[in-house]
Amino acid sequence: MSEKKVVRFIITRQESPEANSYEETFEVPYRPNMNVISALMEIRRNPVNVDGKKTTPINWDMNCLEEVCGACSMVINGKPQQSCSALVDKLEQPIRLEPMRTFPVIRDLQVDRKRMFDSLKKVKAWIPVDGTYDLGPGPRMPEKKRQWAYELSKCMTCGVCLEACPNVNSKSNFIGPAPLSQVRLFNAHPTGEMNKAERLEAIMGDGGLANCGNSQNCVQSCPKGIPLTTSIAALNRDTAIQSFRNFFGSDQG
């Protein structure tokens, strides 16, 4: 009788934010086209490690299961990526799963991406709406510009570009490439432009643009192909102009 094919996983476990991490190995039955999340679900159904010892189910985040929400991001074989779109057939075995270390670990592979959402608040990454009465349709955006903006809007706040950036870590308050690129997106919007100066000023201070070391890791790691380094270069120009405006006392954004 032929032996049943299995997939071996070495998973970094951590019981709480304060606990020490350790590795635990699991084997799950192979199925064609399985992704990392389906293997994690298999382990959750039967949390028994490779030594036959019953253990606790593994924690991780997930939501959309189609590479849209960014919640399931983790480090797979050394590369930060989404576990819902990571196919087992394309990965070398044993498959190593670790949490993204740029963010505080909550438990096992689940991390707290709050620093990214705080940064989005800091740079006002939204279009202001009055909300008290119907303002009617906003200004139209030329189709070519809309298509360009759509590419930037694909950011799912997954955190992969922050994990890949050497300048984003627990000792630095650098907001990282994703929120910077969102500044470019919202400043390009005909209504969002109203807050352009505020957004630029938010990234001119500590933890902003000047903390970028131009390693270019971010643009290579982004699963959505967002032109992060182009955004950063454009913002360098925009902030230089903003500095002149501030110096000469013009409040035009």
For binding to ligand SF4 (CB under 6 A), which residues are involved? 70, 155-161, 178, 181, 221-222, 224, 226, 228
Selected binder of ligand FES within 55, 63, 170, 214 (CB under 6 A) = 63
Task: Give whichever of 65 and 188 is closer to ligand FES, judged by the CB atom.
Answer: 65
CA angle 238, 242, 243 (to 5 degrees): 120
Task: Give whichever of 68 and 149 is closer to ligand FES, judged by the CB atom.
Answer: 68
Minimum CB separation from ligand FES for residue 10, in Å?
A: 21
- Residue 65 interacting with ligand FES (CB under 6 A): yes
Task: From the list ligand SF4, ligand FES, none, pick the one residue 72 interacts with, judged by a Cβ distance below 5 to 8 Å according to partner type.
Answer: ligand FES
Helix 143-153 with 177-188: angle, nearest 10 deg:
160
Residue closest to 179 by CA, chosen among 220, 211, 141, 138: 211
- Residue 50 interacting with ligand FES (CB under 6 A): no
Minimum CB separation from ligand SF4 for residue 27, in Å?
A: 31
Neighbours of 48 (CB within 10 A): 12
Minimum CB separation from ligand FES for residue 66, in Å?
A: 7
First to last CA, the chain: 74
Residue 29 DSSP class? E
Give every CB contact of residue 214 below 8 A, 6+ residues apart in sequence.
229, 232
Cα–Cα distance between 97 and 15 in angstroms, integer? 15
H helix runs in 92-134, sequence order? 114-122
Site string for ligand FES, 67-96 (x = CB under 6 A): xxxxxx---------x-x------------
Minimum CB separation from ligand SF4 for residue 47, in Å?
A: 30
Q: Which H or E run includes 80?
A: strand 79-82
Task: Give whichever of 86 and 232 is closer to ligand FES, judged by the CB atom.
Answer: 86
Minimum CB separation from ligand SF4 for residue 78, in Å?
A: 16
Task: Give whichever of 7 and 178 is closer to ligand SF4, judged by the CB atom.
Answer: 178
Q: Are 105 and 111 in contact (CB under 8 A)?
A: yes
Query: Site residues (CB under 6 A) for ligand FES?
Result: 62-65, 67-72, 82, 84
